Amino acid sequence: MLQLRNITKRFGGVLANDQIAITVEPGTIHAIVGENGAGKSTAMRIAYGFYTADSGEILIDGHIRRIQRPHDAIALGIGMVHQHFMLVDTMTVAENIILGAETGTPASLDLDEATARIRKLTDDFNLAVDPRALVEDLSVGQQQRVELLKALYRDARLLILDEPTAVLTPQEVEEFFAILRGMRQQGKTIVIITHKLAEVLAVSDAVTVMRDGRVVGRVKTKDTTAAELARLMVGREVLLRVEKTPAKPGAATLSVRNLTVTPAIADLSFDVRAGEIVGVAGVEGNGQRELIEAIAGLIDPAQVSGDISLDGAPIAGLSARDRRERGMAHIPEDRHRRGLLLEFGLDENAILGVHYRPPVTYGVFVNDREVQRRTAGIIQRFDVRPPNPALPARALSGGNQQKLIIGREFELRPRLLLVAQPTRGVDIGAIEFIHRKLVELRDAGCAVLLVSAELEEVMSLADRLLVIHKGRIAGEVDPQMASAAEVGMLMTGGH
Amino acid sequence: MNLLFPVIAVAAAFLVGSVFVLLIGDNPIETYWLLIGSALWWPDGIGYTLFLATPLIFTGLAVAVAFRAGLLNIGAEGQLYVAAFATAWVGIVLANVPATVLVPLCFAAAIAAGATWGAIPGLLKARFGSHEVINTIMMNFIAVALVSYFTQYHYRTPGDPILQSAPISANAYIPRVGELIPGFPERIPLNLAFILALVACVLVYVLLWKTKWGYELRATGSNPSAAEYGGISVRRQIVLAMAISGGLAGMVGINEVLGYRHRYYDGFSDNYGFTGIAVALLGRNHPVGVILAALLFAILTRGGIPVDAFTQNVTKDIVQILQATIILFVAAEALFRKPFQRWLTSSPSR
C-alpha cells in the first residue's frame, strides 16, 4: 500500500530521517515505534506531504508518487490524524468534517447530503457520534472519532494516526482499538505512530522500529515481545518490570481523614506510611488531581474540608510553602502548567520552592553560586540532557523536563512525596530510571503517594493500591495479588 | 539577538517614515539629520532630550515591572498625577521644614502616592479577580479628576488664571544639572530626577534578577500556577508588583514638581503613562532597553520641534506618525522574526 524508499530529511543540522525504508502492507495495522525524536512522525509527515523529503521515493500501490502537499496525499487516499486535534470547537461535527470539502454550490452549503454520508460512515465503522453535536461538547474520545471521520469522508484508504492513544482513558483505548480492527476488516490500511509497547502488541500486525532517525528493526507482531521492541527502541536492554523488595513500612507519615473537595472528592480517608508507595488507580478525572492538590495545599481552602496530618501534626490550614517546609515534595501531573517555568533557565527552575531561604539566598539576594551548584548536582545525578543550566526549560524533551522536576523534589529529601503521572510522555529509558528512583526514595523511608493513569505503572510500583471512582475510594487491593481486570472493574464502579 | 528585533523595527519605521516625507515633498535624509542632530546638539538639544526622557524612563520601568509579573499597568498616567500632586502638597504644607528633611519627604510622598494608586487595582485583582486593565484605566479617570478638583478649589493661588497650585517651598527644590555641572546652562530644566531615573533602572535590575523578591515576581508573571506550586503567594505578588510599578510611575512627579515647575500644574503629563507602555514594549521590559527606548522617544519629540519649524512641508504630525509606526512595527515583531529565522536556519550551518 505505502512504501517509503531511502527517505532522508534534514532540519538544519539535524538528520531527522536517514535513508529510511518502511513498507506497509494493504489491509493491515502497522505500528511505527520509537522514542521521542526518533523520526517516526517526520517520516509519516513526509508521506502525508507536510514535509518534502530531501531525497528518496514514496510509492503508493507500487507506483512512485510525488507528494508535496497534504492535498496530494488526500487525493491519493491518505488521511492523517494528528496528536493534537485540528477541529473548530464552535462548529458542529458535520461542519468540521466537510471543512475544505464542502458540498453544494459556493453560495449554498448542502449540509443534508453531507450529514447523510457521515451517518453512513458512522454506521459502517461503528463510530458513534452525532453529526449535529458541537465539537466543544464532545469528549476527547469522540473528538478523535471526528478526526477519523474527516479522513474517511475524503475516501482515505490509508490512515496515519500520530500517537492516537495519548489522550484517551484506558476504556476509550479499548473502544478505539475495536474501531481500528473494524476498519481493517473493511479493507482500510492503518499506520499508528506510538511509543507504547503494550498497545503495539495488542493491535498491530507488523512493526517498524526507529531510533535516531534510522529504521532499526522490522518485525511481525506475533513474532516479537515487548522486551525485544524496547531493546530495539532504546538500543540496550531495558527493564520493563520494576525491581523492588517488599516494603518495610513504618508509622503513618500522611493521614487523611474525611477529606472532601467540592465537587470532586468526597469523604476520603487513608494513611501513607513511611517507606511504602501507596498507589491511586482510577480513570482520569475521578478526583485524583484534586486529591493531590488538596494535600499539597494548592486548592482554595474554601473548597476543602477534612483533616490532613503530616507526621501527626495537622497541616490542613497551612499554605503550600509551610507544607513544603514540613517535608512535603510534589511532582505534579502537568509539568508545563504546574511544574516548570518554561521560559526560565534550568537553574532558575531548579530552585523553585527553595528560592526564598538559605543556602539559596543570603539576605534578600539569590546566591548564584549555590544555585549553580544545586543545578549542576541535579543535572548530574538525574542525567538531565542537554546539561546546560542556562537553557530554558522549554528546550528540553518531556523526559528531561520530568527528570529535572524529580531531581528538584528529591533534593528536598522529603518525608512525603506526592507524585502524579510521573512518566507521562516520557521515553522508555527514562521511565525505567524514574521508577528506580521512586523505589530508592521509598527504601530511604519516604512515604510516597502515587497517582497514575497507567494501570501497569501503579500496579507494579505500588505496595498498596487504592482505587478511586467518582471521588470515592472504591476499594483497596494488594497489587501483587490483584489482576488488572479486577482493578479495572473497581475503576469503572463495578463490583 | 534580544536587541536585534527592536532595532530592525526602528529601522523599518524610519524607512516607512521616509516614504511619507518623500510623498510630502521633502528630503528624508535632510529631515532625519535635522531631527536627530538637533535633538543631540550640545547643550540645549541633549539637555532637553534627557529632560524629556526622564518621565519616560520612570513610566517605562513602571510598565516593565508590572509586565514581568504578568500584569498590564495602563494606569501609570493616573499614578503619576496623584504622585505629582502629593509631592507638591507636601512641598506646600510643610514649607518651613528644612531641605534635608523636606526633599526626602517629598520623594516619599510621590512614591507612596503612586504606589498606593497602583496597589488599589492590584488588590482588586488579587481579591476579586477583576481585570487590572479595566481598573487601571478607571483609576486614571479618577486620578485626573481628583487632582484637578483639589488644585482648582483648594490649592490654587487666589486670582491665578492658570489651573495650577500655589508654589512649593524652595526647600523642596532639587537642583538642576546646570547647578551641578559648571558650564551647563541653568535654564535647561534637566535636573537631579534624571540621575534618579538611572538609579531606579539599576535598582529595578537588581530587584528583578538578583533578589528572591524579583524571582517570585518574575515566576508569577511567567507561570502563576507553577509559582503557586513553588509556594509563592500569587495574590501578594500581584499587589506588590502593582505597588512597585505605581511607585516608579509616581517618581515622574519628582521630575515635574521638585525639579521643574516647582508647583503642581494641572494636565502637565504629555501622555507619559501611555508612552511608557510603548517604551517598555520597545525596550523588551528590561531596564537597559527602557533607557534606550525612552531616549529614542525623547529624541523624536525634541527633534520634532525644529523639523516642524525648519522643513518646508514636514510638520510634527509626521514625527507622530513615525512614533506610531515604530510602535506598530515593534508590536508586529513576528513580521521580522519569521523570515529572519527562516533565513538563519536555511543558511548552511557547517
C-alpha cell at B64: 516593565
Nearest to A337 among B213, B218, B225 (CB): B225
Dihedral angle over CA of A481, A486, A487, A490, nearest 10: -140
> What mean pLDDT comes out for the span A440-447?
96
Evaluate the omega torsion of the peptide bond into residue A131 and state whether it is cis, within 30 degrees of 0.
no
Residues B172-223: pLDDT tens digits? 999 999 999 988 999 999 999 999 999 999 999 999 999 999 999 999 999 9
- For A294, which residue in chain B has the nearest alpha carbon? B229
pLDDT value, residue B349: 35
pLDDT value, residue A404: 96
Residues A300-328: pLDDT tens digits? 989 999 999 999 999 999 999 999 999 99
- For A324, which residue in chain B has the nearest alpha carbon? B231
Please state whether A109 falls in left (phi above 0), alpha (psi between -120 and 50) or beta. beta
Nearest to B231 among A11, A320, A342 (CB): A320
Residues from chain A contacting residue B208 (CB–CB below 8 Å): none
In whole angstroms, give the CA distance from residue B274 to residue B291.
16
Q: String of b and e for A439-460 (b: at least 16 CB within 10 Å)?
A: bebbeebbbbbbbbbbbebbbb
In whole angstroms, give the CA distance from residue B110 to residue A330.
44
Residues from chain B contacting residue A11 (CB–CB below 8 Å): 345
In whole angstroms, give the CA distance from residue A223 to residue B159.
102
ipTM: 0.88
Residues B271-319: pLDDT tens digits? 999 999 999 988 999 999 999 999 999 999 998 888 888 888 888 787 7
Interface test with B, best of A9, A299, A336, A338 (most B CBs within 10 A): A338
pLDDT band (50, 70, 90) for residue B53: very high
C-alpha cell at A145: 472519532
pLDDT band (50, 70, 90) for residue B347: very low
Interface test with B, best of A293, A321, A337, A341 (most B CBs within 10 A): A341
**Distance (Å) from the alpha carbon of A363 to chain B's nearest alpha carbon:** 9
pLDDT value, residue A173: 83
Higher pLDDT, A133 or B109: B109
pLDDT band (50, 70, 90) for residue A403: very high
- For B215, which residue in chain A has the nearest alpha carbon? A355
> What mean pLDDT comes out for the span A41-63?
90
In whole angstroms, give the CA distance from residue A241 to residue A234.
16
Residues from chain B contacting residue A365 (CB–CB below 8 Å): 210-212
Length of chain A: 495
| N-to-C CA span, chain A | 46
pLDDT value, residue A296: 96
**Distance (Å) from the alpha carbon of B89 to chain A's nearest alpha carbon:** 34
Contact B226 A341 (CB under 8 A): yes
Residue B349 to residues A11, A14, A19, Cα–Cα distance (Å): 11, 10, 21
What are the residue ranges of helices labelled H in chain B? Answer: 4-24, 28-40, 44-68, 76-93, 99-128, 132-153, 177-180, 192-210, 212-222, 224-229, 234-250, 252-253, 272-282, 287-310, 316-331, 334-346
Residue A174 to residues A223, A443, B25, Cα–Cα distance (Å): 23, 36, 74
**Distance (Å) from the alpha carbon of B202 to chain A's nearest alpha carbon:** 15
Contact B222 A343 (CB under 8 A): yes
Nearest to B212 among A296, A324, A355 (CB): A355
Check: CB of residue B250 under 8 Å from CB of residue B85.
no
Q: Per DSSP, what are the bridge partners of residue B209? A: none
pLDDT value, residue A455: 82
3-state DSSP assignment of residue B21? helix
Residues A339-364: pLDDT tens digits? 999 999 999 999 999 999 999 999 99
Examine the pLDDT at A395 and tell me if it is beyond 70.
yes
In whole angstroms, give the CA distance from residue B291 to residue B279.
8
pLDDT value, residue A175: 86
Contact A320 B226 (CB under 8 A): no
**Which H or E element spans position A484?**
helix A484-491
Contact A12 B349 (CB under 8 A): yes
pLDDT value, residue A85: 83
In whole angstroms, give the CA distance from residue A291 to residue A289.
5
**Distance (Å) from the alpha carbon of A335 to chain B's nearest alpha carbon:** 9
Examine the pLDDT at B86 and tell me if it is beyond 90.
yes
Question: What would the DSSP string read from start to end of A129-169?
Answer: --TTSBGGGS-HHHHHHHHHHHHHHTT-SEEEEESTTTT--
Q: How far is CA B221 from the centre of its chain?
A: 21
Examine the pLDDT at B1 and tell me if it is beyond 50.
no
Identical fold at A2-234 and A243-327+414-495? yes
pLDDT value, residue B339: 63
The residue assigned the cell 523599518 is B12
Interface test with A, best of B203, B211, B223 (most A CBs within 10 A): B223
Supply the DSSP symbol for B169.
P
In whole angstroms, give the CA distance from residue A23 to residue A39.
16
Examine the pLDDT at B337 and tell me if it is beyond 70.
no
Examine the pLDDT at A419 and tell me if it is beyond 70.
yes
- For B344, which residue in chain A has the nearest alpha carbon? A12
Comparing A412-416, A482-486, B155-159, B242-246, which segment has the lowest mean pLDDT?
Answer: A482-486
Q: Per DSSP, what are the bridge partners of residue A5? A: A57
Q: Per DSSP, what are the bridge partners of residue A8? A: A55
Examine the pLDDT at A114 and tell me if it is beyond 90.
no
- For B230, which residue in chain A has the nearest alpha carbon? A353
Contact A339 B229 (CB under 8 A): yes
Burial class of residue B76, CB neighbours in 10 A (0-12, 13-18, 19+) = buried
**φ, ψ (nearest 5 deg) of residue A380:** -75, -50
- For A354, which residue in chain B has the nearest alpha carbon? B230
Q: String of b and e for A76-98 (b: at least 16 CB within 10 Å)?
A: bbbbbbbeebebeeeebbbbbbb
What are the residue ranges of helices labelled H in B69-191? Answer: 76-93, 99-128, 132-153, 177-180
> What mean pLDDT comes out for the span A218-246?
85
C-alpha count within 13 angstroms, C-beta hemisphere, residue A157: 12
3-state DSSP assignment of residue B156? strand
Comparing A6-15, A59-68, A174-183, B332-341, which segment has the lowest mean pLDDT?
Answer: B332-341
- For A335, which residue in chain B has the nearest alpha carbon? B226
pLDDT band (50, 70, 90) for residue B350: very low
> What mean pLDDT comes out for the span A444-465?
91
In whole angstroms, give the CA distance from residue B56 to residue B64.
12
C-alpha cell at B292: 534606550
Residues from chain B contacting residue A13 (CB–CB below 8 Å): 349-350
Examine the pLDDT at A464 and tell me if it is beyond 50.
yes
Higher pLDDT, A198 or A463: A463
> What mean pLDDT comes out for the span A135-162?
89
**Residues whose CB is less than 8 angstroms from the CB of residue A309 and which lie 6 or more positions away in sequence, other chains included:** A254, A255, A315, A316
pLDDT value, residue A285: 80
Check: CB of residue A305 under 8 Å from CB of residue A260.
yes
CATH class of A2-234: alpha beta
Comparing A4-8, A408-412, B88-92, B325-329, which segment has the lowest mean pLDDT?
Answer: B325-329
Nearest to A366 among B215, B223, B232 (CB): B215
**Which H or E element spans position A170?**
helix A170-185
C-alpha cell at B308: 516642524
Residues from chain A contacting residue B218 (CB–CB below 8 Å): 344
The residue assigned the cell 508590572 is B66
In whole angstroms, give the CA distance from residue A329 to residue A333.
13
Domain ranges of chain B: 57-298
Check: CB of residue A422 under 8 Å from CB of residue A441.
no
> What mean pLDDT comes out for the span B131-140?
96
Residues of chain B whose beta carbon is less than 8 angstroms from a beta carbon of chain A are 210-213, 215-216, 218-219, 222-223, 225-233, 345, 349-350
Domain ranges of chain A: 2-234, 243-327+414-495, 336-413
> What mean pLDDT comes out for the span A196-217?
91
Question: What would the DSSP string read from start to end of A210-260?
Answer: EETTEEEEEEEGGG--HHHHHHHHHSS----SPP-PPP---SEEEEEEEEE
In whole angstroms, give the CA distance from residue A68 to residue A64.
13
Contact B231 A296 (CB under 8 A): no
- For B232, which residue in chain A has the nearest alpha carbon? A321
In whole angstroms, give the CA distance from residue B304 to residue B298.
10
Contact A330 B222 (CB under 8 A): no
CATH number attached to the domain at A243-327+414-495: 3.40.50.300
**Distance (Å) from the alpha carbon of A402 to chain B's nearest alpha carbon:** 14
Residue among B234, B330, B233, B227 nearest A353 (CA) = B227
Supply the DSSP symbol for B66.
H
Nearest to B229 among A12, A338, A343 (CB): A338
Check: CB of residue A9 under 8 Å from CB of residue A51.
yes
Residues from chain B contacting residue A356 (CB–CB below 8 Å): 212, 216, 231
SS (H, E, C) B274-294: HHHHHHHHHCCCCHHHHHHHH
pLDDT-above-90 percentage for chain A: 56
Q: What is the pTM of this model?
A: 0.83
Supply the DSSP symbol for A99.
T
